[in-house]
Chain A
Amino acid sequence: MRNPRHCAPIAALVCLALAQAGCTEKKAQALVVAAQTFASEAKGAVQNVRALYLADISSPDETFEKQSAQVAVAIEKEILSGSSMNDEKFAELLKGTTLSNPALSEINQEFDLLERAYSTFASMYESLPQGYLFSRQAVKNSEKHAINLTVQLINMAEEVEKHPLQFRGRRILLQERLKDVAGITNEELRQASIGILSKEIVHLRQEEEKANQQAILQCLRAAEAGKRVAQLIRDYDKLSLEDILTLTGDALGFASAITDSADVKALVAKYNGIRETIENDPYWAPLLDKAITDSGGTN
């Protein structure tokens, strides 16, 4: 039988540990929230960039009526040219003007991998509030991924900034209409059509610029959230709960400031500087997978 005199100090220690644990549990919860915020911002960024890439390689998106009209024009041309229909031509008629792009699935695979990476990152910490006492090393091991995923977002922003993407389908339709305008003989009608087209061309330019800028800003918002998560992990043992909440709050405030910013070039330059700081930091550099960071290409 246990000596009751031994049980009392054990009980006191247990109570003390549980009381301390209350504070650490909240710190763990703060890290979970920070990681989830990062993942959510990053997924938004990847979705924006994916949409841009798909728009850049897509053919015009056309209605059933427009497609039917195109088929009618093709049949008319066949009749006028006096050539006879065969199965090869009929197959072409069925395909319409839609193109198949074998590389489309490769682009989608790449973006799927990126989206999964950010979801998986956030999911790592789901049980942390319940398991923080034995997770110190696991959290430390996750730091490398926080840094890599952050730098990856800065790289993506830089790539969009250096090589902006276009709404190719809309460009094709406008070019077709420009050709049609040249054939209008009625001067009044021609001028009216040019007026309408001019506005649509300016709209296209503005919308392309806006879409590229939004994608860049979303990448940088997410990178900011990621940088804070990496900092939280790095200093997790040293930070108080208050410090952690302040850091997370600052990150959210800064992220919304990024959204309002118009100077995309300056922001990309700033984050390139942050990436360089990470690459040259004696603590963080060894954690960074260096495969890509020299964004050279064929320069």
Chain B
Amino acid sequence: MPKRDNDAILLEQMGHAVTDLEVRFRRSTLEERVALRPMLEGMLADYTRYRLRLLKEGTITTEEDLREMQAIKKEIDKAASKQSLLKAIARTVAFIATKI
């Protein structure tokens, strides 16, 4: 059995706590639900943010990278315009050459 990391243990504990509390919440009276809701929603948000933090540790892309890729796209688009102009000129030169 592979050794589990601390994140796995903590995630499991948080997940159990949120699920158990939600099961209890759903069976509670309205008065109890009013009291339990902020705690439960807070725990769910903490659990979600913990998951998000671990996901982000593996994320490399930033908004800056997106801007860089868009700039590269513009460069290639510009190159396409330049190339189509060049092709037009080349064809014209070739045409003229055949007429001389």
Contact = CB atoms under 8 A, between A and B. Distances in A.
A59 B19 CA distance: 9
Given A131-B80, A152-B58, A101 B97 contact: no
A122 to B, nearest CB: 10
Interface of B: 5-8, 10-11, 15, 18-19, 22-23, 25-27, 29-31, 33-34, 37, 40-41, 44-45, 47-49, 51-52, 54-61, 63, 65-66, 68-70, 72-73, 75-84, 86-87, 90-91, 93-94, 96-98, 100
Interface in A127-174: 127-128, 130-135, 137-139, 141-142, 145, 148-149, 151-152, 155-156, 158-159, 162-163, 166, 168, 171-172
A188 interface: no
A285 interface: no
Contacts of A18: 87, 90
27 contacts: A4-B97, A11-B93, A11-B98, A53-B51, A99-B40, A101-B44, A103-B45, A117-B66, A120-B69, A120-B70, A120-B73, A126-B73, A126-B77, A127-B79, A139-B76, A149-B61, A152-B60, A156-B55, A156-B58, A159-B57, A159-B58, A176-B27, A179-B23, A179-B27, A298-B7, A299-B5, A299-B6
A277 B68 CA distance: 25
A208 to B, nearest CB: 12
B7 A74 contact: no
Interface stretch (A87-95, A189-197, A235-243): A87-95
Contacts of A288: 60
Interface in A232-287: none
Contacts of B56: 110, 292
A15 B83 CA distance: 15
A253 B37 CA distance: 51
Interface of A: 2, 4, 7-8, 10-11, 14-15, 17-18, 53, 56-57, 59, 70, 74, 77-78, 81, 83, 88-89, 92-93, 95, 97, 99-104, 106-107, 110, 113-114, 116-117, 120-121, 123-128, 130-135, 137-139, 141-142, 145, 148-149, 151-152, 155-156, 158-159, 162-163, 166, 168, 171-172, 175-176, 179, 288-289, 291-292, 295-299
Contacts, number: 221
A141 B15 contact: no
B15 to A, nearest CB: 7
Contacts of A151: 60
A135 B98 contact: no
A123 B73 contact: yes
Contacts of B69: 117, 120-121, 124, 142, 145
Given A120-B73, A156-B58, A83 B31 contact: yes
B61 A141 contact: no
Among A81, A93, A298, chain B packs the most CB atoms within 10 A around the CB of A298
Given A131-B78, A171-B19, 12 more contacts: A92-B34, A110-B52, A113-B66, A124-B69, A124-B76, A131-B79, A145-B69, A163-B8, A163-B11, A176-B23, A297-B54, A298-B6
Nearest to B22: A172
B22 to A, nearest CB: 6
B100 A2 contact: yes
